[in-house]
Amino acid sequence: MSTYRSLQRTEAEARAALLTVESYDVRLDLAADESTFASTTTIRFDSLGGPTFVDLKPARVHRVVLNGSALDPDALDRGRLPLETATGPNELVVEATMRFRNDGEGLHRSVDPVDGRHYVYGMSFMDAAPSVFACFDQPDLKAPYTVTVLAPHDWTVVGNAPATNPEPGLWHIGPTQPLSTYFVTVVAGPYHLVRDEHDGIALGLSARASLAGALEADADELMTMTRQCFDEFHRLFGIRYPFGDYHQAFVPEFNAGAMENPGCVTFRDQLVFDTRVTRGLKMSRATTVAHEMAHQWFGNIVTPRWWDDLWLNESFAEYMGVRVTADVTEYADAWVDNSYARRQWGLTADLGPGTHPVAGNGAADAVSALQDFDGISYAKGSTVLRQLAGRLGDDVFLAGVVDHLESHRFGNATMHDLFASWERAGAGDLSAFTDQWLRTAGPDVIALDRAAGVLRRTPPAGHPADRAHTLRVAVARGGRWEVEQVTVEGPETAYDAGDAPVVVDPFNDTWAAVVPDTATVTALADLLPSITDPALVAGVWNNVRTALHLGSVDPAAVVDLAVARFPVEDTGDFPHVAVPRRTIPWVFQTLVPLAPEGSMERLHAAVLARLETLEPGSEEQLAAFRAAIRSATDPAVLRGWLGTAPSGIEADLDLRWRVLVRLAVLGATDAAELDAELAAAPTAAATVEHTRARASLPDADAKAWAWARFTGEVDVPNYELEAAGLGLWQPSQRELTAPYVERYFADLPATASVRSGWVLADAAEAFFPATSIERSTLEQARALLEAPDLADPLRRRLADGADRLARMLAVEEAHPA
């Protein structure tokens, strides 16, 4: 895995100057074996003549033929097969055997524990395509694809273009529109399908057979949102969706929320709801659907030339996805949910050691580019685009976007190209905006100095900027909140708040780290329960979270706020979904470990009190009950809930495993009971939560069991690997896990030899000793960061973990519990 070379930007530029790819013909045999598959690729391309290479990551290479002449398969070196191309047309044929993967990349194969059926999907993002087919793997060598798939007769196959099935087990897809390699996918297996049509576009949904009932139940909402979004995107852009069918495949063990493959978008299949969920999660799914649909124009019709412009895909889709969801679906409050779910993700990244500009972030090679696929690319970039849209107005903003899409249709473009389109549309000179907001890393910090009567703006250290912020301020006067607009310019802007509590930028008008003053935090304990505007509540929590991150608020005061109004409304999270950015998980993962002793009990009492006031059967009641489970310290109470849930709560499998995980943390269950629970209902979600619970048990065997997954001694799929890491480290088990602190730093580098890509970095983060809030742990992390041969994905996640730990230590020192 670490033996593969990452494509350098200079190499990509040289290859793009040499080659024009005409077509790919890919043949995949998925029926012959459960561990490998046959892959035959024919690439037709023109060349100026001379040496280059094709990317290939096989189990074995059987035959390579260039222009009728056989090449030596043993010439393959670290994922590259050298070619001596002829001037003019060339044809390359590569026959290889490839490995199915279980890490969410390449061609991922999984077995549904419910019924033993096998499922396959392709994830070609970044540098995974060569593990499926031979290719020139860079975004600016687009070409049409024709894909032939041999599959078991009971499988259905879907891809980037409408598929035909001329005989059992044989499927033909394409030719497609010109695609970058990282968009190519095949989704194959005994999937349950739902089909529809809208405005001449064939629509499809698919999920595992064991989720058929849940997919049918969700189909109306999913199809309705899809139709609404298509209509709005067509209205906004005036450009028809050009990729034929629009299929949305919900696939198992998917790393990201979704991937925008043209014609066949893949989603993690927890977004098909087979247990009861809150409105927050439904809204999150809606914005994800709209986000991926926005990509069909921005990213798929026009694709960045290189990975340093990845933000052109993600920032745009983030902005348009939330905007369209709020404007045309039932989720008019989508911006509030986005504030809870994404704002702090982006700010934490922008305040951290890995901060980088939204645009022009360097990205010398593909692997380093993947490290910048973060909250800055999504949340910060989206906010900046929203600011720009407000500044230009829709007429100019959308006219520039349309010009960009039409000028580079099915091609590649850069940030310069997009901003040139906006300037042609009437935006004027945008160079100052670009320099300050997109090319300068880090956020300004804005804080109220009440005594001086000013709002102070502090640019990020090491990244000087002079950004003006036009934002709203909410002021509590006479028992009501008044909203006024302020422009913060220069280091100080006069602002006289008197004695009134002030919340600066609660509605995310700008991108900045906003810190509330002590008087406001103190007053909020009384004010927060009566705030009726959900956007203002979200803004309050975001400012408080930023303040704790920067060490400028006492954790005890934040606990007081949570007790006053525990934030149950925004609980859109659920286990095994990587959205630890919402407020409730933050309360337990970050706040409680820093708070005074007894804070967990106070929070639990507050949640129970809140639970008593909520309507039985409401989503707020469900969210509060989840928080009650998470905060419970009495095993007897939890055991009682296993038997009888409160009136209005459906004791489904999701809630049952929440209780079991908490019992495991408290040492009130054992491996035998957990194994029996899994055997009774062996779903994919239960398998993951079983792993989390097993790793959470407070005994040496459980920790060794989890650690064997980290080192690769025991190979498990990506979700189970992450769950083992998150379960291992528990604040109440620090003495038990202490030996694993040193082992983490000793064993981490070698994990690059057993896994790669997305899951390599995710495992490094999940197993980081987050509960060891000790100076010695920080010193070990910083020492390993000095190792010159540490893999880049590990270095980035280790640096982020060390930064979080350093900030927690700083809070402890500034505000002793």
Phi and psi torsions of 771, nearest 5°:
-90, -5
d(CA 389, CA 396): 8
The range of the structural domain enclosing residue 338 comes to 210-241+254-413
d(CA 173, CA 160): 7
Looking at the structure, tell me whether residues 3 and 87 fall in a common domain: yes
Residue 786: exposure state from Cβ atoms within 10 A (0-12, 13-18, ≥19): exposed
Higher-pLDDT residue of 141, 578: 141
Structure confidence by residue, pLDDT tens digits, 569-583: 543 333 333 333 467
pLDDT at residue 568, as a whole number: 60
pLDDT at residue 361, as a whole number: 60
| Residue finishing a domain among 413, 428, 450 | 413
Active site residues: 292
Number of other residues whose CB lies within 10 A of the CB of residue 675: 12
Mean pLDDT of all residues in 577-591: 68
Mean pLDDT of all residues in 475-492: 94
Looking at the structure, tell me whether residues 269 and 167 fall in a common domain: no
DSSP 8-state secondary structure symbol assigned to residue 436 = I
pLDDT of 674 over the 90 cut: yes
Higher-pLDDT residue of 340, 781: 781
Looking at the structure, tell me whether residues 226 and 164 fall in a common domain: no
Would 540 be classed as within a structural domain? no
Structure confidence by residue, pLDDT tens digits, 529-543: 999 999 999 999 999
| Threshold 0.75, pTM exceeds | yes
pLDDT at residue 362, as a whole number: 61
DSSP 8-state secondary structure symbol assigned to residue 126 = T
Phi and psi torsions of 813, nearest 5°:
-70, -40
Looking at the structure, tell me whether residues 179 and 276 fall in a common domain: no
Q: Are 388 and 397 in contact (CB under 8 A)?
A: yes
pLDDT of 70 over the 60 cut: yes
pLDDT at residue 1, as a whole number: 42
Would 460 be classed as within a structural domain? no
Looking at the structure, tell me whether residues 363 and 401 fall in a common domain: yes
Pairing of strands 411-413, 302-304: parallel
DSSP 8-state secondary structure symbol assigned to residue 307 = G
Looking at the structure, tell me whether residues 183 and 281 fall in a common domain: no
Would 519 be classed as within a structural domain? no
Looking at the structure, tell me whether residues 276 and 403 fall in a common domain: yes
Number of domains in the chain: 3
Q: Are 247 and 206 in contact (CB under 8 A)?
A: yes
d(CA 249, CA 741): 40
| Residue finishing a domain among 413, 428, 453 | 413
Per-residue pLDDT band at 802 (split at 50, 70, 90): very high
Looking at the structure, tell me whether residues 261 and 361 fall in a common domain: yes
% of the chain beyond a pLDDT of 90: 89
Looking at the structure, tell me whether residues 181 and 227 fall in a common domain: no
pLDDT at residue 816, as a whole number: 86
Would 233 be classed as within a structural domain? yes
487: left (phi over 0), alpha (psi -120 to 50) or beta: beta
pLDDT at residue 308, as a whole number: 85
Structure confidence by residue, pLDDT tens digits, 689-747: 999 999 999 999 999 999 999 999 999 999 999 999 999 999 999 999 999 999 999 99
pLDDT of 404 over the 80 cut: yes
Mapped to the 3 state alphabet, what secondary structure does 309-323 carry?
HHHHHHHHHHHHHHH
Looking at the structure, tell me whether residues 121 and 220 fall in a common domain: no
% of the chain beyond a pLDDT of 70: 98
pLDDT at residue 175, as a whole number: 98
| Residue finishing a domain among 391, 413, 435 | 413
Three-state DSSP class for residue 132: coil
d(CA 379, CA 434): 17
Per-residue pLDDT band at 584 (split at 50, 70, 90): confident
Residue 397: exposure state from Cβ atoms within 10 A (0-12, 13-18, ≥19): buried
Looking at the structure, tell me whether residues 132 and 76 fall in a common domain: yes
Structure confidence by residue, pLDDT tens digits, 610-660: 999 889 998 888 989 999 999 999 999 999 999 899 999 988 999 999 999
Number of other residues whose CB lies within 10 A of the CB of residue 40: 18
pLDDT at residue 578, as a whole number: 32
d(CA 382, CA 539): 17
Structure confidence by residue, pLDDT tens digits, 595-610: 999 999 999 999 999 9
Q: Are 202 and 245 in contact (CB under 8 A)?
A: yes
Tokens of 166: 């001329």
Mean pLDDT of all residues in 127-135: 97
Looking at the structure, tell me whether residues 301 and 234 fall in a common domain: yes
Structure confidence by residue, pLDDT tens digits, 215-237: 999 999 999 999 999 999 999 99
Would 539 be classed as within a structural domain? no
Q: Are 362 and 368 in contact (CB under 8 A)?
A: yes
Structure confidence by residue, pLDDT tens digits, 411-441: 999 999 999 999 999 999 999 999 999 999 9
Would 427 be classed as within a structural domain? no
Q: Which is nearest to 241 in space by CA: 287, 313, 296?
A: 296
Would 758 be classed as within a structural domain? yes
pLDDT at residue 280, as a whole number: 86
pLDDT of 177 over the 60 cut: yes
Half-sphere exposure of 594 (CA within 13 A, CB side): 29
Tokens of 241: 């969706």
Residues 6+ apart with CB under 8 A from 786: none
d(CA 39, CA 248): 25
Per-residue pLDDT band at 2 (split at 50, 70, 90): very low
pLDDT at residue 359, as a whole number: 87
CATH number at residue 297: 1.10.390.10
Tokens of 554: 């006492």
pLDDT at residue 278, as a whole number: 86
Q: What's the mean per-residue pLDDT of the chain?
A: 94
CATH number at residue 85: 2.60.40.1730
pLDDT at residue 79, as a whole number: 96
Would 346 be classed as within a structural domain? yes
